[in-house]
Amino acid sequence: MKTLIIEDEANAAHDLAAMLQKIDPTIQICAFLDSVETAIEWLRRNTPPDLIFMDIQLADGVSFEILREVEISSPVIFCTAYDEYALQAFRVNSIDYLLKPLEEADLKRSLDKLAFLRQQFGDWPQKLLNWFSQNRPASGGKSSFLVSFKGKLFPVQTRDIAYFIIEDSLSFLITFDGRKLPLSQTLDVIEEQLDPRQFYRANRQYIIAFEAVKEVEPYFARKLAVKLRSIKPETVFISREKSTSFLHWLENR
């Protein structure tokens, strides 16, 4: 079974490989990848592996960025020290979610689960992926966010939000009328609560609303410059790697 490991800690990656091959000596490690960027490039250039192990927090971002950029048909097992991403993990091709430090018994259960699913779904991977698609949690998105500001709590309707931004490790929402209000959640957590038809994760700093997009222009190095509607004009840059998916989102929400 050809297996890809995406993990930014070299020791953790090789320990995982050793445990996997101890459990099943037929497992072949295709590659060790340590970043979002290298994983996207590898997956675009190579035949899909039989299984992918992914750490969530990588040096240059979170691994969900990989899944937004590349259509992955392989089953994924997430391995992470954080438990707050579990719901988001099961909205993609995840068959399991393991917390670090990893134990051999947990890995064996995950591999047994994969073997069982393969036995049940003979047309691998399409039937299983169809099943995942039909059984993922519905995602209509939140209708409002509760904001704490100047000692008071008040709701802000999601339809009034032009974009979310992170500055100096703090998250804020920006409304169409120019209010800048703090939020306690990270952008990753906020993204999980939004309707993906209405909001797009432009980069690590911004999540933008469809209604806020005024115009898009080509930019240096095949990037896109997105001008947003708001009281204070804002330009957000989309990377070359994400430009196609962003334009597809604009046209096919």
- The class level of CATH for 2-135 reads alpha beta
The candidate with the shortest Cα–Cα distance to 158, out of 149, 171, 145, 140, is 145
| 140, burial (CB in 10 Å: exposed 0-12, middle 13-18, buried 19+) | exposed
Q: What are the extents of the domains in the chain?
A: 2-135, 144-251
Instruction: Indicate if the pLDDT at residue 230 is higher than 90.
Output: no
Statement: the pTM of the whole predicted model exceeds 0.85: no
Mean pLDDT of 47-73: 87
Answer yes or no: are the C-beta atoms of 223 and 238 closer than 8 Å: yes
Long-range pairs of 225-232 with CB within 8 A, sequence gap ≥ 24: 226/202, 228/162, 228/163, 229/162, 229/176, 230/162, 230/163, 230/174, 230/175, 230/176, 230/178, 231/176, 231/177, 231/178, 232/174, 232/178
Is the fold of 2-135 the same as that of 144-251?
Answer: no
What is the pLDDT at residue 251? 82
Answer yes or no: are the C-beta atoms of 161 and 174 closer than 8 Å: yes
What is the pLDDT at residue 137? 46
Answer yes or no: are the C-beta atoms of 173 and 145 closer than 8 Å: yes
Instruction: Indicate if the pLDDT at residue 57 is higher than 90.
Output: no
CATH code of the domain occupying 144-251: 2.40.50.1020
User: Which residue has 């899944």 as its token pair?
Assistant: 67
Distance CA 61, CA 37 (A): 9
Give the confidence band of 46 by pLDDT, cuts at 50, 70, 90. Answer: very high
What is the pLDDT at residue 229? 85
Chain-wide mean pLDDT for the chain? 85
Q: For 161-190, how does the pLDDT look when each residue is reduced to its tens digit (9 = 90+)? A: 999 999 988 999 999 988 999 998 888 888
If DSSP codes are grouped into helix, strand and coil, which group holds residue 150?
Answer: coil
Instruction: Indicate if the pLDDT at residue 136 is higher than 80.
Output: no
Give the confidence band of 253 by pLDDT, cuts at 50, 70, 90. Answer: low
Distance CA 121, CA 123 (A): 6
Answer yes or no: are the C-beta atoms of 34 and 10 closer than 8 Å: yes
What is the pLDDT at residue 6? 96
Mean pLDDT of 48-63: 89
> What are the backbone dihedrals phi and psi of residue 42, each rounded to the nearest 5 degrees, phi first?
-65, -45
Instruction: Indicate if the pLDDT at residue 24 is higher than 90.
Output: yes
What is the pLDDT at residue 65? 85
Give the residue with greater pLDDT, 191 vs 208. Answer: 208
Q: Which residues contact 183 (CB under 8 A, 6 or more apart)?
A: 145, 147, 164, 171, 172, 173, 190
Q: Which residues contact 24 (CB under 8 A, 6 or more apart)?
A: 1, 111
Query: Where is 215: in which H helix or E strand?
Result: strand 213-219
Instruction: Indicate if the pLDDT at residue 43 is higher than 60.
Output: yes
Q: What are the Cα distances from residue 154, in Å, to 22, 176, 191?
A: 54, 17, 20
Q: Which residues contact 135 (CB under 8 A, 6 or more apart)?
A: none
Distance CA 29, CA 33 (A): 11
Q: Which two tokens stand for residue 204?
A: 């690590």
